[in-house]
Amino acid sequence: MRRRYLLAADVGGTKVALALAAAGGARPEIVAHRVYACQEFGGLQPIISDFLQQPQVAGHRGAIAAACFAVAGPVVANSVTLTNLDWKIAGNALAAEMRLPEVRLLNDFEAAGLGITRLAANELETLQAGSPVAQAARLVIGAGTGLGVGLLTWQDNGYAVHPSEAGHTDFAPVDELQDKLMLHLRRTYGRVSYERVVSGPGLMRIFSFLQETGAGLPSKQLRDADKKRQDTAELIAEFALARLDPLAVRALDLFVAVYGAFAGNMALATLARGGVYIAGGIAPKIAPKLKEGAFMRAFTNKGRFSEVLETMPVHVVMNPQVGLYGALLEAARMGGVTK
């Protein structure tokens, strides 16, 4: 019997990760993987086309059973306009253009929710063991270019994943410094969502806010490094973790506090007694900072409901490909090759 393959993509506001995997098994075996910078392309179609022409992929193109693309935005009628990138994607049109049997678009945190159900223990860092409740609601949250949230509820014999746009809920400051940050951002954006703060661009906004309000100036070392790097947010985080720049340290401290408070809000809203999973592009890179305690203090600081939050397991997802695996699992279901 001819082996069948699955095509998946994780389409964010900055990068597109693509994978071809052999169908079968608990987790599809990736045979080809490539990451593209969004800024180098005018849309998703030329990226898919380039990937399908790669030597490791081209020979299997006729054996692709199904394709699923996780996308950072709300999916309606198998189409999406990305939230943080001016791309419009239509799954049915892509399937026709790329001569694929079927293309399904999936919200990126719906895909991440599917992916966490197959994670191994060594792909998680536990921030709070809590007291997990079998078949209770789970929550997956992740900051990257944007801020995503997905809810998992038990249905029949497994978890069903519900996408959301909860990252765009109103930012709620919890202390005087965060009040000042809110006022600072309101001058630019009017309404301020959590995504304006808890994201890669959000970390840069926090850094600028602290600098502009007299908290200090970036070190010469950081300024020099910034001239050579494109990802300023990643650079700020690296300098903060290494304690090479006091302003970067303060920015990451504030970022982590707001991130923890937001995660706690979402956990309280959903009563995620089955576990809270912190995914996305940023969390694995700052896991040592998340483990220091400030994140969990903000997470559990919910007044009369603090004790409820203390019972919920909280994990950092260390596998940055969790959304890609989720898309592959959905492609396997679509292609009828799920085990």
Q: Give residue-wise pLDDT tens across range 162-196.
A: 999 999 999 999 999 999 999 999 999 999 999 99
Task: Evaluate whether residue 179 is within a structural domain.
Answer: yes
Mean pLDDT of the chain: 93
Q: Is 339 a residue whose pLDDT tops 70?
A: no
Count of structural domains, the chain:
2
Helix/strand/coil for 315: strand
**304 in the same domain as 193:** yes
Task: Evaluate whether residue 330 is within a structural domain.
Answer: yes
CATH number at 190 reads 3.40.367.20
Q: Is 335 a residue whose pLDDT tops 90?
A: no
Task: Evaluate whether residue 119 is within a structural domain.
Answer: no
Q: What is the pLDDT of residues 98-131, one digit of tens each?
A: 999 999 999 999 999 999 988 989 999 999 999 9
Quick count: other Cβ atoms within 10 Å of Cβ 217?
Answer: 13
Measure Cα distances from 204 to 67, 263, 276, 283, 307 in Å: 35, 20, 26, 16, 33
> Domain range holding 219?
167-317
**328 in the same domain as 297:** no
**300 in the same domain as 186:** yes
**302 in the same domain as 262:** yes
pLDDT of residue 338: 63
Q: What is the pLDDT of residues 24-62, one digit of tens each?
A: 776 788 999 999 999 999 999 999 999 999 999 999 999
**264 in the same domain as 233:** yes
pLDDT of residue 117: 87
How far apart (Å, rounded) are the C-alpha atoms in residues 98 and 320?
27
**175 in the same domain as 302:** yes
Task: Evaluate whether residue 16 is within a structural domain.
Answer: yes
Measure Cα distances from 144 to 12, 40, 231, 329 in Å: 8, 19, 12, 22
Helix/strand/coil for 13: coil
Helix/strand/coil for 67: strand
Q: What is the pLDDT of residues 304-325, one digit of tens each?
A: 999 999 999 999 999 988 999 9
Task: Evaluate whether residue 255 is within a structural domain.
Answer: yes
**85 in the same domain as 53:** yes
CATH number at 71 reads 3.30.420.40
Task: Evaluate whether residue 261 is within a structural domain.
Answer: yes
Q: Is 1 a residue whose pLDDT tops 70?
A: no
Q: What is the pLDDT of residues 219-242, one digit of tens each?
A: 888 988 888 777 889 999 999 999
Task: Evaluate whether residue 154 is within a structural domain.
Answer: no
Per-residue burial over 43-65, b if 16 or more Cβ lie within 10 Å, else e, is: ebbebbeebbeeeebeebeeebb
**205 in the same domain as 101:** no
Q: Which two tokens stand for residue 218?
A: 């970036």
**329 in the same domain as 297:** no
Measure Cα distances from 281 to 9, 139, 234, 255, 320 in Å: 15, 17, 10, 14, 6
| Max CA pair span of the chain | 68
Task: Evaluate whether residue 127 is within a structural domain.
Answer: no
pLDDT of residue 294: 97
Starting from the edge strand earliest in sequence, which strands make up the sheet with 29-37, in order?
Answer: 29-37, 15-22, 5-11, 64-71, 103-107
pLDDT band at 214 (very low <50, low <70, confident <90, very high): confident
**305 in the same domain as 220:** yes
pLDDT band at 254 (very low <50, low <70, confident <90, very high): very high
**204 in the same domain as 65:** no
Phi, psi of 152 (to 5 degrees): -115, 130
Q: Which two tokens stand for residue 262?
A: 């937001």
**71 in the same domain as 54:** yes
